[in-house]
Amino acid sequence: MGKPPYIITEKAADFLAKIVEIVTHLEFGTNFKRDFKLHRENRVRTIHSSLAIEGNTLSLSDVSAVIQGKWVAGKQTEIKEVRNAYEAYDRIMTFDPYNIADFLNAHRLMTDGLVSEAGMFRSGDVGVFNGDVAVHIGARPQFVPGLMEELFVWASESDLHPVLKSAILHYEIETIHPFSDGNGRMGRLWQTLVLARWKTIFAWIPMESVIYANRPEYYNALYQGQHTGDCGTFIEFSLFALLSALQKMVSDLLSAEPSEHQDKHQDKHQDELTDTQRMVLKTLQNKALSRKEIFAAIGMNGDSRCFRRHIEPLLKAGLIERTVPDKPSSRLQRYRLTELGATAAEE
């Protein structure tokens, strides 16, 4: 395959310049990097929108409830999609965007229990149809591994700006269609990963919400590129979606009342963690432990009162999570850091 065919339009170049400017402001001119509550809310929006694009009917509040381990009335396959997507996005920063094994592992997390070939390139032909009309036919299965390897080699060696590169990777993943199912989810996840490797705050920017709100334009940009052999239109749309998500984030942050009390509250978010809670986060770095093991590690008696005071706030804040979310009292229950918690533990 070599270098993917693309043209950077004037509009795309303008979008890129604005993205670079606004992300710098968001990163250094606001408290966004440390607003873990907003990060968590944005992650829920990302998962809801990415799954809704593919037809998942759960509401935003349903998705939030599933992630919190609460009972939700809905199709079990859709609930499973949410849990899988949360697992994949929560581990996003552990993936190498140009490593095939990581790509397959992310797909396994995303589709585990939903498709027979989870974590594997497809073994058969696939296509996207509008009724009986084939809109797009993916690469023949025997060529998929080689095409993906070539794509990742190009991306790893290219000096193209990460914003542009992320859009091209997204487009090429959809065009090659490497999996029997989950290609859309993986394309969006991988674009976010490339962006987050450039600027970590992109792990918490829900550009999928803009894509969901502009689905006809999203599909048109994909199909136009697949029919013309040039992904310039998709790059342009992708940067529009990204810029729109960034602008909304800045607007939402600025629209909040700029009071002294609020500023102090935001600046003190990390300081609101007690020393004991910080010790818990440090203890859980790179491992999952039981309640008893956590308190033993920090030298405390792990009775119910201590649990409510030191562990429950971390669960509610989304800094740690249960490994068996559906059964809080399970004897197999362990606690581990979320990505938010891992960030907090390092500060």
pTM of the entire structure? 0.75
The CATH code belonging to domain 31-255 is 1.10.3290.10
Query: Which amino acid is residue 154, in one-letter code?
Result: W
> What class is the 273-346 domain?
mainly alpha
Sequence-distant (6+) residues with CB within 8 A of 34 are 266, 269, 270, 347
Structure tokens at 315: 């669960």
Nearest-CA neighbor of 174 among 160, 185, 161? 185
Backbone region of residue 216 per phi and psi (left: phi > 0; alpha: psi in -120 to 50; beta: other values): alpha
Cα within 13 Å of Cα(139), Cβ side: 20
In tens digits, the chain (347 residues) has pLDDT values of 568 888 899 999 999 999 999 999 898 888 898 888 899 999 999 999 999 999 999 999 999 999 999 999 999 999 999 999 999 999 999 999 999 999 999 999 999 999 999 999 999 988 766 666 656 777 899 999 999 999 999 999 999 999 999 999 999 999 999 999 999 999 999 999 999 999 999 999 999 999 999 999 999 999 888 888 889 999 999 999 999 999 999 888 876 644 444 444 444 444 478 888 888 999 999 899 999 999 888 887 778 888 888 898 898 888 899 998 888 888 899 999 988 888 888 77
> Are the C-beta atoms of 319 and 340 separated by less than 8 Å?
yes
Q: What is the helix (H) or strand (E) element at residue 127, kind and residue range?
A: strand 127-130
Helix pair 76-90, 100-111: axis angle to 10 deg? 150
Range(s) within the chain of domains with CATH label 1.10.3290.10: 31-255
